[in-house]
């Protein structure tokens, strides 16, 4: 076995979810993630946990949606609820065979099922949980890489010193919370947002793996100015590129995209909340050196910032509500970030790197 798979498992068990003796662990995995499942079983056993794996298959889910009546989709899966309630740790491994398997399912059917499973999802989020990927051909292809290259990319992002990364992220979090606002400056960009009363969250590998960002929700009416997102991103099966947004009193007043502007328009016009920012953030993971159209990785790229239109996270004290949460990323190599009057990032260096 590639020793990096064992190391990935070790990080998930020891750092991300801190499995200890007697813990009940549930893994949720696609069949293609089997190697990482094997490595996790060894690591969990060593930590003294007991483990059960749920097989996650888009093809099977598609077949279920094909066959189920709306009534069936409203039946709560009590067995899934029971295993979720009784577990201490939940580890999800994404290694899709075909990311488009659900593309032609009537969206209403997925919505009904999601609503039915909402309670189970929130039970899950109350556990120690982690979400990661296992490198596979499907994700490599989506990233425009061979599988070998993609493996190097994934492990470059994940096999880092998380204790060290965490220390820096908490320095950043405390620094940002000691100020009342943030400002992104760069090419075609000057965006201001108040963060007064908000909590900045240091994402240090306890949930998302990879992690490496600090994020919060801006005060609703405070966002002013304009921003240019130069990193492409995937939404509704489309790659949107070169997004420009202008804000007044927290709302988008002008927008454009170099590619797929119609998709951007439909996102912004989803509902009231989709015209506002639900998240502002700084990516810090220098192990991620390029975008791969996978938001789990792209929003963490070092020397970037990102903002999301739509839903805010409650644990930031965010209030904006929306059916969408769409992240957009900007590289900051030529930019600056201010917290209050203080320059905290400039041309490739965070303040703590001096």
Instruction: Kindly list the residues in this chain that would bind a copy of itself in the complex (CB under 8 A).
Output: 21-22, 24-27, 29, 31, 34, 37-46, 48-55, 57, 59-61, 63-69, 71-72, 75-83, 85-87
- Output the smallest distance, CB 17 to a copy of itself, in A: 14
Q: Which is nearer to a copy of itself, 117 or 263 (CB)?
A: 117
d(CA 338, CA 195): 12
Q: Name which of 51 and 326 has its Cβ closer to a copy of itself.
A: 51
Min CB(154)–a copy of itself separation in Å: 20
Give 185's strand partners: 190, 336
Smallest gap from residue 237 Cβ to a copy of itself (A): 22
Question: What SS3 state is found at 158?
Answer: helix
Shortest approach of a copy of itself to residue 66 CB, angstroms? 6
Smallest distance from a copy of itself to CB 159, Å: 20
- Closest distance between a copy of itself and the C-beta of residue 261, in Å? 38
| Residue with smaller CB distance to a copy of itself, 6 or 224 | 6
- Report d(CA 140, CA 147) in Å as an integer: 5
Beta bridge partners of 52: 26
At its nearest, how many Å lie between a copy of itself and the CB of residue 107? Answer: 18
Q: Which is nearer to a copy of itself, 24 or 324 (CB)?
A: 24
Give how far the C-alpha of residue 308 lies from the chain's centroid of Cα atoms, to the nearest Å: 11
State how far the alpha carbon of 289 is from the alpha carbons of 67, 152, 333, 349, in Å. 43, 11, 12, 15
Nearer to a copy of itself (CB atom), residue 9 or residue 282: 9
Question: What is the distance between the alpha carbons of residues 134 and 8, in angstroms, rounded to a whole number?
Answer: 9
**Which of 74/144 has CB closer to a copy of itself?**
74
Q: How far is the CB of 139 from a copy of itself (least distance, A)?
A: 18
Query: Residue 39 in 3-state DSSP?
Result: helix
Map residue 162 onto helix, strand or coil.
Answer: helix
Identify which of residues 28 and 317 has a Cβ nearer to a copy of itself in the complex. 28
Closest to a copy of itself by CB, 120 or 337: 120
Tell me what percent of the chain is helix, strand and coil, each rounded to the nearest 5: 35, 30, 35
DSSP string, 235-298: ETTEEEEEEEEEEETTEEEEEEEEE-HHHHHHHHTSSSGGGSEEEEEEE-BTT--S--S-HHHH
Helix (H) or strand (E) holding 176: helix 162-177
Q: Please enumerate in sequence order all residues whose Cβ is within 8 A of that of 67, keeping only pairs 6 or more positions apart, or say none.
A: none
User: Nearer to a copy of itself by C-beta: 61 or 199?
Assistant: 61
3-state secondary structure of 344: strand
108/33 Cα distance (integer angstroms): 29
CB of 48 to a copy of itself, least distance (A): 5
């Amino acid at each position: 076995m590639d020793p990096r798979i064992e190391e990935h498992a070790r990080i998930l068990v020891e750092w991300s979810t801190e499995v200890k003796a007697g813990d009940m662990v549930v893994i949720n995995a696609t069949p293609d993630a089997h190697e990482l499942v094997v490595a996790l079983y060894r690591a969990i056993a060593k930590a003294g946990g007991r483990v059960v794996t749920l097989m996650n298959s888009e093809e099977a889910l598609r077949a279920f949606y094909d066959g189920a009546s709306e009534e069936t989709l409203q039946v709560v899966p009590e067995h899934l609820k029971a295993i979720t309630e009784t577990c201490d740790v939940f580890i999800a491994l994404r290694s899709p065979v075909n990311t488009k398997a659900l593309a032609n399912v009537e969206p209403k059917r997925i919505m009904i099922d999601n609503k039915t499973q909402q309670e189970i999802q929130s039970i899950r989020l109350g556990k120690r949980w982690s979400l990661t990927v296992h490198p596979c051909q499907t994700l490599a292809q989506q990233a425009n890489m061979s599988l070998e290259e993609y493996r190097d990319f994934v492990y470059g992002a994940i096999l880092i010193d998380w204790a060290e990364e965490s220390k820096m992220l908490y320095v950043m979090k405390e620094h940002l919370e000691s100020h009342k606002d943030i400002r992104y400056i760069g090419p075609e960009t000057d965006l201001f947002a108040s963060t007064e009363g908000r909590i900045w969250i240091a994402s240090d590998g306890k949930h998302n793996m990879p992690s490496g960002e600090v994020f919060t929700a801006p005060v609703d009416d405070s966002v002013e100015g304009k921003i240019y997102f130069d990193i492409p991103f995937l939404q509704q099966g489309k790659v949107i590129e070169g997004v420009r947004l202008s804000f007044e009193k927290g709302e988008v007043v002008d927008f454009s995209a170099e590619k797929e502007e119609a998709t951007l328009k439909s996102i912004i016009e989803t509902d009231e909340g989709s015209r506002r920012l639900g998240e502002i953030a700084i990516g810090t993971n220098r192990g991620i050196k390029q975008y791969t159209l996978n938001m789990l990785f792209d929003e963490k790229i070092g020397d970037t910032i990102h903002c999301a239109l739509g839903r805010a996270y409650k644990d930031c004290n965010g209030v904006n509500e929306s059916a969408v949460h769409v992240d957009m990323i900007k590289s900051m190599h030529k930019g600056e970030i201010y917290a209050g009057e203080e320059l905290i990032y400039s041309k490739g260096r965070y303040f703590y790197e001096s």
